Amino acid sequence: MMMLKKLVDEIQGRNVLRDHIRIDFEDSEKRIKFIESECKHYEAPHAGKPFKLELFQKAFVEAIFAIKIYDEELERYVRKYQNVLFLVGRKNGKTPLIGAICLAEWFCGPTGLKVLCASNDYEQADLMFQAINAMREESKTLEKVTRKNIKGIFFGNPKQKKKKGKFSYQNKGSIRKLSAKTGAKEGRNIGIGAVDEVFEMEDNSLVMPIRQALSTQDEPLYFELTTEGFTNDGYLDKRLVDARKVLRGEVEDERWLIWLYTQDNEKEVWIDEKSWYKSNPGLGKIKKWSFLRQMVQEARTKTDTKAFVLAKDFNVKQNNAQAWLQPEDIKNDLTYDIEDLRECVGIGAADLSETGDLTNARVLIYNPKNKMKYLITKYFIPISKLEQMEGEEKEKYLQWVKDNHLAICEDTEVDQSDVVAWFVSLYKKYKIRVFMTGYDKWQAKAFKKEMQDYGFDIDKIEQGYDLSNAMTSLETDLKANRVNYNQNPIDIMCLENTSMKWNSAGTKRMPVKVQGDQDKKIDGAVTMLICYETLDRHRKDYMDIINRR
């Protein structure tokens, strides 16, 4: 709204630069007419239908092309806004819109105009390029005077007779694509640069060469289009800080068009459906109400969905490290007698500590009749670590030793042979056999060899985003009261200390310590996740075994 107010002031002659600004709708009307008459949609459910612009899209095109400013260097009026930041919720047609604008300017703009579609990876850059190409192919008029090959889209068609003119081979304009992973990004000379999904970028290593490549143009046009993301202190975060300073008048940048569709806060997402238009201007026409309502309803109960929906549908910034479980998800009143698990077959897990830290070993036993997962666990700590503790913390750990939840190793680090011995003891005491044991490779050479010497089958499980699906499964089971950890207080502590970190795309998560506090212990939560991941990898064989029993 701040940007729109500024534009209205400019159109009505109230801007401080009014003597240097001219309003001319001829160029914007030409682009709008081109898009609506020549461009067609290329994806279901609108494939083949004319690209009829919504009011907010027309306003966007007018803001770019109708407002002119006098350039003293060129001694003529040029397009005022040459740098565009477009932030909008997913599925509001941002990529087709920017693609249509690029195609319109390629045809309606100067001869020899070069367009570059870029993104953080090749597939994302290809989305906009394919959007432009699909609209070109849908129009007989456009397709007749252009051609596409592996390098890009060009003017001139082998079937046409004309050898000269703007729409012939004589026009050396082109539309190409570029990935952040592509080498040799320097040395280009382009008129339009469009960078898609900038939320994934950690720095400006892709965008700066593109912006520099525009420097020779009289009227360059640079787009950044995106939704919010999960990359902390990334390129988008810095751009949005600068953008809001410009909108508030704290920093001067008269050539930057800042077009942000965002919620004012998270609270209104949950209590006011009508506010959803703030981040979804295409709601009801481009984006389905039913889809968004379903996403919001799911987000109310699932933490992974909540973070993704808030970032992608409502542009509410999500830190990539967030709380994982609520207290009511963790604590339950479930208990068991280990004798009831005698002769069962389980899935093992071990999180082997660095020197002087906590170590955890665990066995998960699944009962297909009641869908319950029973967790047997043992924690280990070196005596040197225990002796460093003071006060209530030390008393708490000593109580855990007394209650047989924690074993003390008489050394400066946990002896991995003690961990192996615990798995062996389960079989000797209760005939509980471990079918497969997951372990993290960190500090695990001795553990791996000794486990194999005893005949245990083991599987290496990385403690990273490979645990994403396991986090979802464990969270679901905890909420459904299907995880019986026998009220183990260290398990509770570890679950409470566990946060989750998202990857930059917001598609996978991994366990981390709350607020990055290294003194917080999450070893028990990690072994639960390793159990779940190991079970998932070997589910068929494990289920065959327990179903035969």
pLDDT 10s digits, 420-438: 999 999 999 999 999 999 9
Whether residue 284 lies inside any domain: the answer is no
Residue 286 lies in a domain: no
Q: Which of 40, 39, 56 is nearest to 48 (CA)?
A: 40
d(CA 110, CA 103): 12
> In 3D, which of 119, 468, 205, 478 has the Cα closest to residue 320?
468
Q: Which domain holds residue 202?
A: 2-261
C-alpha neighbours within 13 Å on the C-beta side of residue 55: 2
- Average pLDDT of the residues in 262-287: 94
Q: Decide which of 238, 261, 284 is a domain's last residue.
A: 261
Q: Quote the CA–CA distance of 340 and 402 in Å, as a whole number.
A: 23
Q: Is residue 223 within 8 Å of 146, Cβ to Cβ?
A: no
Q: What is the 3-state secondary structure (H, E, C) of 523-544?
A: HHHHHHHHHHHHHHHCHHHHHH
* Residues in contact with 92: Cβ distance below 8 Å, sequence separation at least 6, in sequence order: 261, 280, 281, 282, 283, 286, 287
Describe the strand order of the beta sheet including 146-149 as a list of residue ranges. Answer: 146-149, 152-155, 174-179, 114-119, 192-196, 221-226, 83-87, 256-260
Same domain, 8 and 122: yes
Residue 510 lies in a domain: yes
**Alpha-carbon dihedral angle through residues 451, 452, 456, 461, given to the nearest 10 degrees:** 80
Same domain, 70 and 192: yes
- pLDDT tens for each residue of 337-375: 999 999 999 999 999 876 557 899 999 999 999 999 999
| In the predicted structure, residue 187 carries a pLDDT above the cut 50 | no
Residue 95 and residue 182 in one domain: yes
What is the model's pTM? Answer: 0.76
Helix (H, G, I), strand (E, B), or coil: what is residue 546? helix
Q: How many domains does the chain have?
A: 2
Are 350 and 232 in the same domain? no
Q: Among the residues of 92-139, which ranges form H helices?
A: 94-108, 122-138
From residue 174, alpha-carbon distances to 111, 343, 487 in Å are 10, 71, 66
Is the residue at 289 inside a domain?
no
- Residues 256, 332, single domain; the answer is no
Residue 181: CATH number of its domain: 3.40.50.300
- Residue 113 in any domain: the answer is yes
| 142 Cβ contact list (under 8 Å, min separation 6) | 38, 103, 107, 135, 136
Same domain (yes/no): 257, 331: no
pLDDT in tens, 482-539: 999 999 999 999 999 999 888 877 888 999 987 656 678 999 999 999 999 999 999 9
Q: Is 372 inside a domain boundary? A: yes
Residue 270 lies in a domain: no
